[in-house]
Structure 1
Amino acid sequence: MNDSQVTIKLTGDEALVLSHWLEKLQMTDLSRVVDDPAVWAPIHRIAGTLDKTLPELFASDYDQRLESARQRLRPQD
């Protein structure tokens, strides 16, 4: 495969929830969750990109923002 790049677009809510989940994933032993070490680099790259672009991560009401985003993303029954 060539060195072409892929762009993924997320809403702010999606980015915030994914960023939180990736942070938790990175705090675990990745080898127990992700069996292919080749996947680790993209996981770290995505997490790092989200960390740099989400000002909410440093907001004093981060937990409230995260929970609100989760609620908006959950399917409505």
Structure 2
Amino acid sequence: MPKPQSQPKRAINPRSLENLKHEGRPPAFEEEKKRRTLTVTDSGWDGTMAVAKALGCRGISELIELIGRGQLQVGAPSSEAEADL
């Protein structure tokens, strides 16, 4: 049986890690952020990033923060949208 081809790993932008540090600038929220791990498909990630951008968020982290703080509500898809799935 042939070996399945592995997907190339995404490169880590060095500035991504620097963005977690708020030295010299105030944090966006009153609490310090902590690193978390999220496992999601590429399609799920890309779709979530598109939603974040459409809502004016700087990224998925900010989108999740707003949802978690109750500042943004997520609703169930309409029956028309469910038919597209």
Please confirm whether the aligned pair reaches a TM-score higher than 0.5, indicating the same fold: no
TM-score in terms of structure 2 length: 0.29
Q: From the two aligned structures, give the one with the greater helix fraction.
A: 1
Higher CA-based Rg: 2
Q: Which has the higher contact order (CA 8 A, sep 6+)?
A: 1
